[in-house]
Amino acid sequence: MAFLSDALGRIKPSATIAVTDKARALKAAGVDVIGLGAGEPDFDTPENIKEAAVKAIRDGKTKYTAVDGIPELKQAIAMKFKRENHVDYTPSEISVGAGGKQVLYNALMATLNPGDEVIIPAPYWVSYPDMVALAGGTPVPLAATMEAGFKIAPAALEQAITPKTKWLIFNSPSNPSGAAYTRAEIRALADVLLKHPQVWVMTDDMYEHLVYDDFVFSTLVEVEPALKERTLTVNGVSKAYAMTGWRIGYAGGPTALIKAMATIQSQSTSNPSSISQWAAVEALTGPQDFIPKHAEIFRKRRDLVVSMLNQAAGIVCPSPQGAFYVYPSCKGAIGKTTPHGKRLATDDDFVTALLEEEGVAVVQGSAFGLGPFFRVSYATATELLEDACRRIQRFCGNLR
């Protein structure tokens, strides 16, 4: 009898965490490595949020809480949905978990049966297909192209839908491409969804606040309220408030789904950290002025990285609307050989050789379901980004 479960055989470890760990290990061994693999802001959590957590500890808010969130946080989330997305969710329509990741996982575990299909536009966040597979469903990648700005067309969505489709996972701005859908583009996808009442939508709005050049973020339920009854609107404090380590994510959705998600959470992790929940209340209700300031810093870094990568031989780097990633094509480097004699047959070879020969850690596009590309996270100090891009230019310039 096998010791390890069949479920484990359906998934693999997160490629982005693997690259980050590898870069960290090389650095610890004294190698000069610049890590552009991690998906987290390099900013510190704002002081007012830290203070709220300290106060929560001092006030003894250190016990178990309601499974899917304290009432104060649910209220703050309801106000956030109203204020920023013009959508009404009551506290009973809100779920809080240990990160957006747990919220998405709960929803998939609570709804998927064998044979259920989940449409996932590619390039996608690495965890979506594995979470779907772990929950027993079938991931159905739907490839977008660089030429289409890494966005899916309504006709392609229509074609991908079958009677077995249970969910569409929709992520804008996107990790890994940074692509963000305009209101009109969301409207066109909503029109397709309205024709298929069996399809539910998980919109992952984690990068909502990181959009540039006057781009206006929209979420599906705001654009088409009729889809509210079959949409889970997922968000969190990790990226916007530089709170990745605090582990707080949340979602708004129909009460029956929210209850089912709480049942899954009650038998796995129970409530998210009480202290982090109080910190998240302060994040959502306190001053918001640092958010556009952070976004402006990210925009400048995006412009720098896009410009420098487009000067690297064989690299084509589109300028995305949001998040803190770019997703350049390395097609022009494929088939070439490095000065150390390594032939680059895939984007996997490209990122491995780049790390070994120039000490720059990025993630291969194949991990996100669309190659030959690679993902660069520019949530890193500007000087490091400049250095890393110079190294990428040198690496590409030396390929023969």
Residues at the interface with ligand PLP (CB under 6 A): 39, 99-101, 125, 171, 175, 204, 206, 236, 238, 244, 249
Give the nearer residue to ligand PLP in terms of CB position, either 69 or 99.
99
Beta carbon of residue 380, minimum distance to ligand PLP (angstroms, whole number): 15
Give the nearer residue to ligand PLP in terms of CB position, either 106 or 338.
106
Spell out the residues 6+ positions from residue 1 whose beta carbon is closer than 8 angstroms to its own.
none
Gap between the Cα atoms of 242 and 49, Å rounded = 10
Strand, helix or coil at 90?
coil
Beta carbon of residue 84, minimum distance to ligand PLP (angstroms, whole number): 17
CB-based closest residue to ligand PLP? 99
Beta carbon of residue 182, minimum distance to ligand PLP (angstroms, whole number): 19
Give the nearer residue to ligand PLP in terms of CB position, either 249 or 359.
249
Give the nearer residue to ligand PLP in terms of CB position, either 264 or 399.
264
Asked whether 37 and 368 are in contact (CB, 8 A), the reply is no
Secondary structure (DSSP) of 228-289: GGGEEEEEESTTTTT-GGG--EEEE--HHHHHHHHHHHHTTT-SPPHHHHHHHHHHHHS--T
Q: What is the dihedral of CA 278, 281, 283, 289, to 10 degrees?
A: -140
Pairing of strands 231-236, 360-361: unpaired
Beta carbon of residue 180, minimum distance to ligand PLP (angstroms, whole number): 12
The burial of 136, by beta-carbon neighbours within 10 Å (0-12 exposed, 13-18 middle, 19 or more buried), is given as: middle
Give the nearer residue to ligand PLP in terms of CB position, either 178 or 371.
178
Beta carbon of residue 168, minimum distance to ligand PLP (angstroms, whole number): 14
Beta carbon of residue 122, minimum distance to ligand PLP (angstroms, whole number): 13
DSSP one-letter code for 3: S
Give the nearer residue to ligand PLP in terms of CB position, either 85 or 238.
238
Pairing of strands 165-171, 200-204: parallel
**58 membership: H or E segment, kind and range:** helix 47-58
